[in-house]
Amino acid sequence: MEASNLALFWAGVIAFAIIVYVILDGFDLGVGILFGTTRDDEHRRDMMDAIAPFWDGNETWLVIIGAGLFAAFPVVYAVFLGAFYIPVLLLLFGLIFRGVAFEFRYRSERMRWLWDWGFAIGSAVVAFVQGAAVGTMIEGIPVANNQYAGGPFEWLAPFPVLTGVGLVLGYSLLGAAWLVLKTGGTLQSWAYARIPWLGGATVAVIVIAIIFTLDRSAIAQSHWGERPWGIVFAIVALLAVAAAVMGALRRREVQPFVMTSVFFAAAFLTLATLFWPHMVPYAITVANAAAPQASLEFLFWGAGLFVLPVILAYTVAVYWIFRGKARRYYGTDVAQQR
């Protein structure tokens, strides 16, 4: 059964939204993770300033992914929700704590420690469960009669835990690169110093994951054997990490973030090589998962032609307006009142 053009269109939209989300929300989650590794309040305030204009808009792309799956591929949505019910709850709690921390951190001196930990731990939890979900998908999601057939803790198997840790490190690398791009002074130097070891740790986890999967049945189920050229994406990903580290060592401001973004894009394309045409590895394809043609057409004329372009334009506009180095906005009014 071949997928229709509209099914392929919406699969492409969701794939694009995933890449954009991973890069954009990835850097602000990474900054949140790094936030918990320093006790310098000046650094912490500058970290929040560096992501304050962007973080809530970045999460819009996560909504697009969820809404797109629900509307265009309801079978995939149902299977994923069954497989990752607990991770989704943890993700939502993490995002809630992050959002609350932005509003409450400078409103209560006594409770600031709580909001600081909520911001850092919430960021780490969101990154970990996303990575664990990817690891679970690589191993293969058990499906029977278009329903999830596994247990509630498949995502806590050793390999998903490894990929969860890997994404925490990867997002931290992306966050450090963003701080280099958007800040200056001591915080920029602090971020420069962390890029090399974060890059090394990320590559180490990738190598361990590759070794771990050599004898796994998931690789046999995937389409890797049919597409050996997919190794090119994996090589590009590793070279991009090396280029990001070199950029940091040479004190280049733009190169680390650009190369880390290339790393995530190449890693996504590597996974696409493994999975395609499956949307639920290795059980449900794009063609089998697509909603009825009438639903896809209705979605196209509504969201496809109007909503998505508006969101894309809004995203571009925000990043253009707040281009350059971050200014100190966050918490300024409260600090002046004191």
Q: Which pLDDT does position 334 carry in this prediction?
A: 45
Please answer whether residues 32 and 123 qualify as being in contact, where contact means their C-beta atoms are separated by less than 8 angstroms. yes
Could you tell me if residue 172 is inside a domain?
yes
CB atoms within 10 A of CB 241: 24
189-197 long-range contacts, CB within 8 A, separation 24+: 190/38, 190/43, 191/34, 192/248, 192/251, 194/34, 195/244, 195/245, 195/247, 195/248, 195/256, 196/245, 196/248, 196/249
- Taking the C-alpha atoms of residue 299 and residue 293, their distance in angstroms, rounded to an integer, is 10
Could you tell me if residue 13 is inside a domain?
no
Q: Which pLDDT does position 336 carry in this prediction?
A: 43
Peptide bond into 282 cis (omega under 30): yes
Residue numbers of the domain that contains 141 = 26-330
- Taking the C-alpha atoms of residue 44 and residue 39, their distance in angstroms, rounded to an integer, is 8
151-155 long-range contacts, CB within 8 A, separation 24+: 152/85, 152/86, 153/86, 154/83, 155/83, 155/84, 155/86, 155/87, 155/129
Helix, strand, coil percentages in the chain from 3-state DSSP, rounded to 5:
75, 5, 20
End-to-end CA distance of the chain: 67
Q: What are phi and psi of 152, to 5 degrees?
A: -75, -10
With a CB cutoff of 8 Å and minimum separation 6, the contacts of 37 are 120
Mean pLDDT by 10 residues, the chain (338 residues): 86 93 94 92 90 87 90 92 92 90 80 89 95 90 88 89 94 96 92 95 88 62 68 91 95 94 93 86 87 88 84 92 79 46
pTM of the model: 0.92
Task: Count how many domains the chain has.
Answer: 1
Please answer whether residues 73 and 279 qualify as being in contact, where contact means their C-beta atoms are separated by less than 8 angstroms. yes
Residue 197: what residue type? W
Please answer whether residues 138 and 218 qualify as being in contact, where contact means their C-beta atoms are separated by less than 8 angstroms. yes
Could you tell me if residue 8 is inside a domain?
no
Please answer whether residues 182 and 46 qualify as being in contact, where contact means their C-beta atoms are separated by less than 8 angstroms. no
Q: What are phi and psi of 148, to 5 degrees?
A: -65, 130
CA dihedral for 325, 331, 336, 338, sign (positive or negative): negative
Could you tell me if residue 19 is inside a domain?
no
Could you tell me if residue 219 is inside a domain?
yes
Could you tell me if residue 10 is inside a domain?
no
Q: Which pLDDT does position 335 carry in this prediction?
A: 43
CA dihedral for 25, 269, 232, 278, sign (positive or negative): positive
Please answer whether residues 146 and 284 qualify as being in contact, where contact means their C-beta atoms are separated by less than 8 angstroms. yes
With a CB cutoff of 8 Å and minimum separation 6, the contacts of 22 are 264, 268
